[in-house]
């Protein structure tokens, strides 16, 4: 059990997920929180990471640090994605082990599962088929992290858990035109349409790919919940169990941002659709007593308020 005074290191505390974990821990009264900016701790530098962990000796580590991006960035910078993610997680997982830190949570992604996976996706479907080509480098790095945690648990009796969240969105997201994921990209496009003369929105592919999304504060809640939960399984899916097509998401988001504006949807079919459908089986997380709490519409409103404030 991690107490309110336990030392907790959040790797990647400035990112979408890491900042939400930090918020969630503070809200729940955890006081001894350790964070490090990229400028003061380069997670790609093994020696610096090992020395940092030796000096600080946290009781628990959240690995939310990663190189992330949308479909375009993942496809264009495969070498960067596989190298940086492998290096960051290797340094943190092995660094934890050599410094006697036996408890951590490694955050992955639903993209680790096969492209044409049976739906909803169970944890046991990992490595049961080919990956989506556009983000296979990132997915392979994350799979390596999962197998590394499993291997250390088996050989060294550590308690390294891996949480696999579905598409995550919320405050502190990346809205960059080239690097963002589909959900923040839609929010940005609809916001621009609200304040411009355009009466159409262009989306990639045919709009029929189905996706599940989760509000980042719900994911953070799951991280803190499983930090304190003894589990037989080390790999656990985190999601809502609900999915919609990209086209449906456009309509849901636009009802909140531009409820009275009429517009049309254009489809750029030269761009990829990605995986046809991706919804996680969340029965294992449910079995342990966790489920997402924030309704989609409320989550979009909170995210959009933050977008306006920040941008």
Between vectors from CA 113 to CA 175 and to CA 277, what angle results, nearest 5°?
65
What are the distances in angstroms from CA 212 to CA 209, 241, 244, 285? Answer: 10, 7, 7, 16
Residue matched to tokens 């656990």: 236
Reference 203, options 133, 253, 240; nearest CA is: 253
83 is catalytic: no
Helical residues (DSSP H) of the chain, grouped into ranges: 16-27, 46-56, 71-76, 78-98, 136-156, 182-194, 216-227, 246-257, 283-287, 296-310
**Cβ–Cβ < 8 Å for 63, 13:** no
The strand pair at 210-211 and 277-278 is best described as parallel
**Two tokens, residue 181:** 């994921």
Candidates 30, 97, 113, 138; catalytic one: 138
| Torsion (CA) 27, 28, 34, 40 in degrees, nearest 10 | -20
The whole-angstrom separation of Cα 172 and Cα 44 is 23
**Two tokens, residue 186:** 């839609």
Catalytic center residues:
138
């Amino acid at each position: 059990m991690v107490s309110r005074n336990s030392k907790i290191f959040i790797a990647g505390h400035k990112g979408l997920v890491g900042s939400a974990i930090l918020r969630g821990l503070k809200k729940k009264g955890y006081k001894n929180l350790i964070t490090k900016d990229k400028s003061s701790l380069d997670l790609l530098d093994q020696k610096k990471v090992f020395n940092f962990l030796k000096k600080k000796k946290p009781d628990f580590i959240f690995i939310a640090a990663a190189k992330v991006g949308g479909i375009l960035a993942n496809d264009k910078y495969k070498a960067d994605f596989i190298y940086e993610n492998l290096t960051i997680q290797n340094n943190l997982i092995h660094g934890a082990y050599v410094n006697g830190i036996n408890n951590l949570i490694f955050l992955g992604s639903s993209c680790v599962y096969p492209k044409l996976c049976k739906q909803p996706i169970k944890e046991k479907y990992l490595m049961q088929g080919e990956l989506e080509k556009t983000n296979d480098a990132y997915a392979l790095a994350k799979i390596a992290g999962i197998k590394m945690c499993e291997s250390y648990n088996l050989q060294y009796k550590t308690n390294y858990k891996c949480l696999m969240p579905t598409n995550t969105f919320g405050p502190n997201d990346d809205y960059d035109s080239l690097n963002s994921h589909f959900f923040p990209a839609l929010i940005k496009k609809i916001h621009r349409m609200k304040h411009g003369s355009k009466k159409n929105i262009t989306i990639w592919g045919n709009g029929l790919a189905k996706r599940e999304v989760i509000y980042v504060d719900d994911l953070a809640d799951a991280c803190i919940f499983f930090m304190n939960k003894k589990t037989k399984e080390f790999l656990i899916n985190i999601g809502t169990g609900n999915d919609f097509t990209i086209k449906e998401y456009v309509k849901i988001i636009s009802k909140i941002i531009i409820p009275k504006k009429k517009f049309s949807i254009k489809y750029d079919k030269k761009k990829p659709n990605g995986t046809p459908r991706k919804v996680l089986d969340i029965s294992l997380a449910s079995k342990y007593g966790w489920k997402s709490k924030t309704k989609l519409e409320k989550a979009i409103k909170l995210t959009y308020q933050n977008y306006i404030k920040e941008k």
